[in-house]
Amino acid sequence: MATGTTRIWRGAGAIGGFVVITLLTFIGLMAITFFIGRVIPIDPVLAVVGDRATQEQYDAARAAMGLDQSLPVQFLHYIGDVFRGDLGRSVSTNRPVAEDLAVVFPATLEMATLGIIIGVAIGVPLGVWAAARQGTWIDQVIRVVALLGYSVPAFWLGLVGLAVFYAGLGWVAGPGRVDIFYEGLVEPRTGLMLVDAALAGDWEVFFNALDHLLLPAAILGFFSLAYIARMTRSFMLDQLGQEYVTTARVKGVPEWRVIWTHAFRPIRVPLITVIGLSYAALLEGSVMIETVFSWPGIGNYLTVALLNADMNAVLGATLVIGAVFILINRFSDVLYRILDPRSR
């Protein structure tokens, strides 16, 4: 039997391992962005001094940027800069990349969070339903819907969604976060438009922002729904094949109780990992959706920077998305280990 102290030790060990592995992965991520920044064919010095500079000016600028040092030293400087929050300056916005990212990130967070809520609220019941009706046409339909989540391009679904629900039916508002005349009305306290509007008590802005958010979030949610439903179904099938479920059925427990209390309870822990993974995937998927919906989030920032060859902004955004992605992955991994009764 695990006593309280061993459980605490196990928790501490898990957190220690979590910190070490996460740090190593971060350094790996920085090594990749550093490497990408070095192989680009654009000469960063030339971009600063211009092509009319003399050799002396060029060399001086090169030394000032630290590019005359060896690669390992440059990498250490780069790590130091990143940990101090210095991601360089964006060429197109002429502001520090870190400041830009702080402005755009909440917009992505808002969309991804509503997306995952939609994905979990619909995906989990669908997966359970498919497993409970295994082999019937309901199961087949849910399986194909889930596979569509792996086969439909997000940007295409976004465009079709705009054409149908915005232009065709007029159910939702179009691209952007709010209508143009509502812009800048509420003071950005958290950067989350819904929260800011609610805090300011400005319900007109709140509902307008919700109107704009609904379609992109629902489309993002569809992709997490597909993954969550698929995984829920396979977890549930594992449980429903177990003998304790047969025992419960033989004892005359009603079917809904067999499914929701007996079979569903043990899969909650692995589901947390699945939800964590799909939340991280949503942050990534938002790149395409944001481009289609002109949503001023980090994905849109990244693609605009890509098209302008604004490398500091590209690498900064890559680093931040990568870091959040890794953090969510690691966190759900640790949570799984702490919650899973078999590891106690």
Partner 1 sequence: MGTAKSWLLDDSPASRLQASLGRSYRMARMLMRNPLAVVGALILLTLLVTAAFAPWIAPYSPLGQDLGARLLPPSAAHWMGTDELGRDIFSRVVYGARITLMIVVLVAVIAAPLGLLIGAIAGYFGGWVDRLLMGLTDVFLSMPKLILALAFVAALGPGIENAIIAIAITSWPAYARIARAETLTFRNAEFIAATRLLGASHGRIIVRHVLPLCTSSMIVRVTLDMAGIILTAAGLGFLGLGAQPPLPEWGAMISRGRTFILDQWWVATMPGFAIIIVSLGFCFLGDGLRDVLDPKQGGKS
Residues in contact with partner 1 by CB under 8 A are 24-25, 28-29, 31-33, 36-37, 39-41, 147-148, 150-156, 159-160, 162-163, 167, 230-231, 233-234, 237-238, 280-281, 283-285, 287-288, 291-292, 302-303, 306-307, 309, 311, 314-315, 318, 321-322, 325-326, 329-330
- What's phi and psi for 139, nearest 5 deg? -60, -45
Closer residue to partner 1, CB minimum distance, 134 or 343: 134
- Going by C-alpha positions, the residue among 129, 141, 138 that lies closest to residue 259 is 129
Buried/exposed code over 188-219 (b: 16+ C-beta within 10 A; e: otherwise): eeeebbbbbbeeeebeebbebbbebbbbbbbb
One-letter identity of residue 247 = T
CB of 322 to partner 1, least distance (A): 6
CB of 232 to partner 1, least distance (A): 11
Q: Residue 285 Cβ, how far from partner 1 at the closest point, in Å?
A: 8
- Considering beta carbons, is residue 197 or 275 the nearer one to partner 1? 275
For partner 1, the closer of residues 193 and 291 by Cβ is 291
Q: What is the DSSP string of 192-233?
A: -HHHHHHHHT-HHHHHHHHHHHHHHHHHHHHHHHHHHHHHHH
- Comparison of 186 and 319: residue with beta carbon closer to partner 1: 319
Nearest CA among 325, 228, 323, 220 for reference residue 270: 228
Neighbouring C-beta atoms of residue 100, cutoff 10 Å: 22
CB atoms inside a 10 Å sphere around CB 60: 14
Nearest distance from residue 337's CB to partner 1, in Å?
16
Q: How far is the CB of 117 from partner 1 (least distance, A)?
A: 21
Q: Which is nearer to partner 1, 153 or 341 (CB)?
A: 153
